[in-house]
Structure 1
Amino acid sequence: MNWIISANSKMYDHSSAFEHYGFIDWKQGLTKYSTGDIVYIYCTSPIKMIQYKCIIEKTDIDYSQIQDDKKYWNDLSEYEKSQTGKYARLKLIEQVSNNQMRLDNLKQNGLNAAPQGPIKIKNDKLLKYIETYFTDNYQTDYFPEIVGESTVEYEGAKKTVIVNKYERSSKARENAIKHHGLNCKICGLNFKELYGEIGIDFIHIHHLVPIHEIAENYRIDFKKDLIPVCPNCHAMLHRKINGKEPTIDELKLMMNRITLPNNVQK
């Protein structure tokens, strides 16, 4: 069975809880979930978007056995109210933030209204739409990671590259922008200030941890690992000097035409 449930991000920090634990113990109420059910979480206003895909790992969990996630509750009065009844464990499969999952698009593809509580997805058109577009494959506001010239192929004007999925993550991008803002951390460029309406919300996100150090179970810390950068600075961060990509501070020095330390000079 496939479900949509609603979540209030003003009340609870779902993204950080998922990043920390990999799951959330969700108040079950009278809903008859089964182990293996797929649950999509719709975030209410102001987000108005499905952002999480989960699988039910356990049901009918007593409150005494759930993960204590008090630090992720923005409204502690609601946390206190939650300390009764049964819970279901929702293990995160994927989290995204893309326009295809916005309420208006969901309503055009079979959703009747904004979810107010748990609903079964019985509309085949809606389920197919969600399953097709709940992905980061359609994101355009990230920068392709070119791993080496051997990975680049040209077909006319088209270029095939390997994409770094960590920099591609739309939800990680959203969190990084909320924390760091939309100004390039290297040159200070803000696209809205420079270009007006067309530049609203545009920026690239750079991953500070070297790609070869990232394991499959690595969890992004958007405060420490990700920074906003303009496309020019992002491209330069992936160029190499003596086989090494420059750090943020080294690139700032280059921009200001200050002599670099000997170990990073050509």
Structure 2
Amino acid sequence: MKYWIVPSNDRTFRIGDAIAAQNGMADWRTNKFSEGDIVFIYKTRPEQRIRYRMEVIKSNLIFNEIFEQEEFWTDKETYYSGYITSYARLKLLEEYTDDILSLDHLHEHGYNGQPQSVREIKDESLLDFLLHPHQIANDEAYDVDYPEDDDKLYEGALMKVNVNKYERNQKARRECVAKKGYQCLVCGRDFEATYGEIGKNFIHVHHLTPISTIGKEYELNVDTDLAPVCPNCHYMLHRKNPPYTIEELKDILAKQSVDVVAKPKRSKKADTIWLQSDANMLRDVNDDADVRRLIHNMMEMDGGTMMKNITSVCIGMFTDRYIGMKPKDWRHLIDDYVRGVTNRSELKEDTLFRYKFG
């Protein structure tokens, strides 16, 4: 078995359209591939990233044996010149919808230049990255702390992490998640709970002490120097220099969550003064999407939010809308809702969104 990177330009052949129309297969003009080979299709500008991983299931096909692909060839002259050329049939194994295999990341893992022709991959480090991109990126490239708008610091940090490691990249990361887990310390996001098996053990590790301020001999303290955070929060932490602290970003997130529901869109029904009996009021509160959204946002903001805090915010936000609603009824309603959402999250049911908004 061999591994290949192949450039593809939609101005010549729209391989994505061919794959979609031919049940995940496409015929590629070449005599270099053998059955069982793995081919990484690199999309040229403007994408500049590997888009598909495909397996060769047939080789040395002649023109009369291939799919009718004329409609996918933008360059008709090149298409008709292929009568005397051999083809290989490729079957889609995986489509990469993110930038995990971008040209920059390929360069970081040993690929030189730009894919301009069919190239066999023999470098073991590069091949390991191509076969396990998310795992390796999560362990290495995506754990680099860097200020977004400072190219010099970014390149310096990246170089030092890749070369010197600061003795933190692997061992320190493992120690950090072993002690602090895979839940974001800012927003509480747990990728396994959200995405299931594919999110297991995924998290970024944030360096609380900016690496631009320390030397390579700096001895890390996992308890005080590292924190597990989700990619979004990791990015936001570095929106200023020096970075926000974990507590500062939590405060920003908390304020934003409250602001979102501070002035909810009110229906004509909600603009009236509600003086129903307790039973009717409970039913209306339970069906109120604004109330559900507030509770849900507070739960997402901090998985450890105490029930009394959610209750206090709800009472403060919706007192005018539900005059006469008793605090104990708020507590019971919120408790039932939180338990319901939690159960759906644990069961990974797809009804969670409908439960949130009714």
After superposition, residues 1-266 of structure 1 pair within 5 angstroms as 1-21=2-22, 22-29=24-31, 31=32, 33-133=33-133, 157-159=188-190, 160-163=192-195, 239-240=353-354
Distance 1:20 1:239 in 2: 33
Deviation at 1:163, TM superposition (A): 3.2
**Partner letter of residue 239 of structure 1?**
F
Which ranges in structure 1 are unaligned for 5 or more consecutive residues?
139-153, 166-197, 199-231, 247-265
The change in CA–CA distance for 1:87 and 1:134 in structure 2 (over 3 A counts) is farther
Q: Tell me, yes or no, if the aligned pair for 1:58 and 1:88 is still in contact at 8 Å.
A: yes
Return 52-61 or 73-82, whichever deviates more. Answer: 73-82
SS for the counterpart of 2:195 is coil
Aligned to 1:191: none
Q: Do the aligned partners of 1:101 and 1:134 also contact (CA within 8 Å) in 2?
A: no
CA distance in 2, matches of 1:44, 1:2: 19
CA shift, 1:114, in A, is 1.0
Instruction: Note the alpha carbon deviations across 1:182-241, whole angstroms, 9 max, x for none.
Output: xxxxxxxxxxxxxxxx9xxxxxxxxxxxxxxxxxxxxxxxxxxxxxxxxx9xx9x96337
Count of residues in correspondence between the two structures: 160
SS in 1 for 2:40: strand
The answer (yes or no) to whether the contact 1:17–1:23 under 8 Å persists in 2 is: yes
- 2-structure distance, mates of 1:80, 1:60: 18
TM-score, length of structure 1 as denominator length: 0.52
Alignment gaps of 5+ in structure 2: 139-182, 198-238, 240-292, 298-350
Alpha-carbon RMSD across the aligned residues, in angstroms, is: 3.3
Residues 100 and 106 in structure 1, CA contact (< 8 A), matched pair in contact too: no
Report deviation, 1:81. 2.2
C-alpha distance in structure 2 between counterparts of 1:39 and 1:132, whole Å: 15
Which residue in the other structure is 2:301 paired with? none
Looking at both structures, which has the greater relative contact order when contacts are Cα pairs under 8 Å and sequence separation is at least 6?
1
Kindly provide the amino acid, as one letter, of the partner of residue 24 in structure 1. Answer: A
Give the ranges of 4+ consecutive aligned residues of structure 1 lying more than 4 Å apart after TM superposition: none
Aligned-residue offset at 1:76: 2.0
- 1:102 is displaced (CA, Å) by 1.1
| Whole-angstrom distance in 2 between the partners of 1:72 and 1:4 | 21
- What TM-score, normalized by structure 2, do the two folds share? 0.39
CA distance in 2, matches of 1:39, 1:107: 18
Tell me by how many angstroms 1:8 deviates: 0.7
Question: Which secondary structure state, in structure 1, belongs to the residue aligned with residue 34 of structure 2?
Answer: coil
**CA distance in structure 2 between the aligned counterparts of 1:77 and 1:6, rounded to whole angstroms:** 19
Identical positions, percent: 26
Name the structure 2 match of 1:206: none
Q: Deviations over 1:88-112 (max 9, x none)?
A: 1111111113222111221121111
In structure 1, C-alpha distance between the alignment counterparts of 2:47 and 2:134, rounded to whole Å: 16
- C-alpha displacement at 1:134, in angstroms? 6.3
Larger proportion of helix: 2
Post-superposition offset of 1:162: 5.0
* Structure-2 residue corresponding to 1:257: none
Q: Partners in 1 of 2:196 and 2:44 — Cα distance?
A: 30
Does the residue aligned with 1:59 lie in a helix, a strand or coil?
Answer: strand
Structure 1 or 2, whichever has the larger Rg, is: 2
In 1, Cα distance between the equivalents of 2:79 and 2:134? 29
Q: CA deviation at 1:20?
A: 1.7
Match of 2:320 in 1: none
Q: Greater strand share, 1 or 2? A: 1
Name the CA distance, whole Å, in 2 between partners of 1:118 and 1:131: 18
- Quote the Cα distance in structure 2 between the aligned partners of 1:122 and 1:62: 28
| In structure 2, C-alpha distance between the alignment counterparts of 1:102 and 1:50, rounded to whole Å | 6
Alpha-carbon shift at residue 158 of structure 1 (Å)? 4.0
